[in-house]
Amino acid sequence: MRRAFDTLFGRLVLIVIGMLVLSHVAWFAIIRFERDNVQTRFAVEEAVFLVEAVRQHIANTPNQPLPPRVRTVELDSPDVPRQPDGDIPPPLQRFIEDLKDRLPDGTDVRLNEPGGPPSVWVHGVKDTGWIVVPVQPLRPPRSRDRMLVWLALIFSTAVLAALFGAWQLQYPLRALAQAVGRFGRGQPTPPVPERGPRELRQLTHGFNQMVREVSQTENDRAVMLAGVAHDLKTPLARLRLRAEMMDDEKMRDGVVRDVESMAHIVDQFLVFAHDRPDGSEPVPVDEQCERIVRAYRAVSPGVQPVHLNLEAGPAFVLPAATLDRLLSNLLDNAHAYGAPPVVIETRRGAKGWVLSVADHGKGIAPDDLIKASRPFVRLDPARGGSGHSGLGLAIVERLARRVGGECEIGNRPEGGLRVAMTFPFDIATQPLAERRAGPQHEERAL
């Protein structure tokens, strides 16, 4: 099961959203706290200014009327608010303390009774009465909804912009990962566009250069191998013709067998060197397996029995030429090294279609399993023989990977070798035009 945040893009999304949420919550708290502090400082400055203005007015122009909402009250007036005897809200307490700090020492500061217009009562040491001045409400009704709407809008815009940037950052890396997967499966790998940050461009450039060098090496080796194999076919044909003319029957048969073994090795060289996409028509694997087994029995009546266990159905299709080469190599390998019966099985697996060929022989030593599919590797002498070059399983793995499959070689618990090939559902049914297009089509698809 694929996890949503198991990809680079998913983790970038998680990090971006988490950081944006954290920063917006922090800014929201800071803005609210600073706004309350600013409001308190503004109210204190306004009250101090009004108190000083009233004192200057009383000292200089006592006969002039005071501004509205500003007045003086006698010390023994019953309207004087009482000193608060309980806890007052922290904002009001902070306001009173800040106001006392700004006024001379010994100044008494009180707030008017709740229910009236907000005002502050101030009595200094030199004042003859109480000075009453209005103040701004410390907690006026404010619309939180509007602030939350703006924060949500800014947050959504930032998330979309960050996700777009994360997608642009991981897209070249995703293309490179797909190319690495194709290269690892032995499929044609077109050059990956060199995009993204400098480090990623350098990595992509190095990968493209490596693919070109490996492909050039593989092409040179394939051309050399195909050329040698092709040039050997003509002298082998002449050698067989001359062997048929020998008078000694025993020697003639021995030479003919040696020539046939050499011709078989040459054919394996040619198949292994062939590196072009299979352009043959796709055929149902179950039906083709039955036809191949019938033809195999007809050509070699004395071979070991082959059992079929075909459960995939008509939906499992592969290119005809590839399927023929796969089964021919596996049946020849089972006939040469295994024991009867040979079982060909097809089924629908969890990751794709499965095609397997198993025998009931001794299998391969566990230490040699990792070397079984390497080209030109001959295992222990029990699996040797004339006419074999160590390419059978290497050809099988190469053919399976060429159509997007994976090959697994292992021993059966009850004895014998089992070669299982898994082909993804989408690759096994790839359209014929795409398979014939080869690397050019894949490059355009990128």
| Residue range 78-128, pLDDT digits in tens | 888 887 766 777 778 888 888 888 888 888 888 887 767 788 888 888 888
- State the amino acid at position 20 in one-letter form: L
**Per-residue model confidence (pLDDT) at position 374:** 63
Q: Which of 344, 356, 353 is nearest to 428 (CA)?
A: 353
Q: Is the pLDDT of residue 269 over 70?
A: no
Higher pLDDT, 313 or 232: 313
Give the chain's domains with CATH numbers. Answer: 8-134 (no CATH), 280-445 (3.30.565.10)
Q: Is the pLDDT of residue 142 over 60?
A: no
DSSP string covering 215-275, please? HHHHHHHHHHHHHHHHHHHHHHHHHHHHHHT-S-HHHHHHHHHHHHHHHHHHHHHHHHH--
Q: Give phi and psi for 137, each to the nearest 5.
A: -60, 130
What mean pLDDT, rounded, does the chain reach? 77
**Per-residue model confidence (pLDDT) at position 310:** 92
| pLDDT band at 445; cut points 50, 70, 90 | very low
Q: Is the pLDDT of residue 26 over 70?
A: yes
Q: Is the pLDDT of residue 351 over 90?
A: no
Query: Cα-Cα-Cα-Cα dihedral of 162, 166, 169, 174, to 10°?
Result: -160
- When mean pLDDT is compared across 20-29, 90-99, 203-212, 230-239, the lowest value belongs to 230-239
- Element (H or E) spanning 130, and its range? strand 130-134
**Per-residue model confidence (pLDDT) at position 421:** 92
Q: What is the largest distance, in Å, between two alpha-carbon atoms of the chain?
A: 154
| pLDDT band at 420; cut points 50, 70, 90 | very high
DSSP string covering 301-370, please? TTSPPEEEEE-S-TT-EEEHHHHHHHHHHHHHHHHHH--SPEEEEEEE-SSSEEEEEE--S----GGGGG
* Section 136-148 average pLDDT: 61
Q: How close are the terminal C-alpha atoms of the chain, in Å?
A: 26
| Ramachandran area for residue 186 (φ above 0: left; ψ -120 to 50: alpha; else beta) | left
**Per-residue model confidence (pLDDT) at position 212:** 87
**Per-residue model confidence (pLDDT) at position 79:** 83
**Per-residue model confidence (pLDDT) at position 345:** 93
**Per-residue model confidence (pLDDT) at position 346:** 94
DSSP β-ladder status, 342-348 and 306-310:
parallel
| pLDDT band at 436; cut points 50, 70, 90 | very low
- When mean pLDDT is compared across 170-179, 254-263, 382-391, the lowest value belongs to 382-391
Residue 397, helix vs strand vs coil: helix
Residue 74, helix vs strand vs coil: coil
**Per-residue model confidence (pLDDT) at position 353:** 92
* Cα→Cα distances 246→235, 243, 249, 256, 352, Å: 17, 5, 7, 10, 54
| Residue range 379-395, pLDDT digits in tens | 544 444 444 445 668 77
| pLDDT band at 435; cut points 50, 70, 90 | very low
| Residue range 47-69, pLDDT digits in tens | 888 888 888 888 888 888 888 88
* Section 215-221 average pLDDT: 74
DSSP string covering 24-48, please? HHHHHHHHHHHHHHHHHHHHHHHHH
* 409, 368 Cβ separation under 8 angstroms: no
Give percent of the chain above pLDDT 90.
Answer: 7
| pLDDT band at 270; cut points 50, 70, 90 | low
Higher pLDDT, 220 or 384: 220
**Per-residue model confidence (pLDDT) at position 438:** 47
| CB within 8 Å of 306: residues ≥ 6 apart | 293, 296, 297, 331, 341, 342, 343, 344
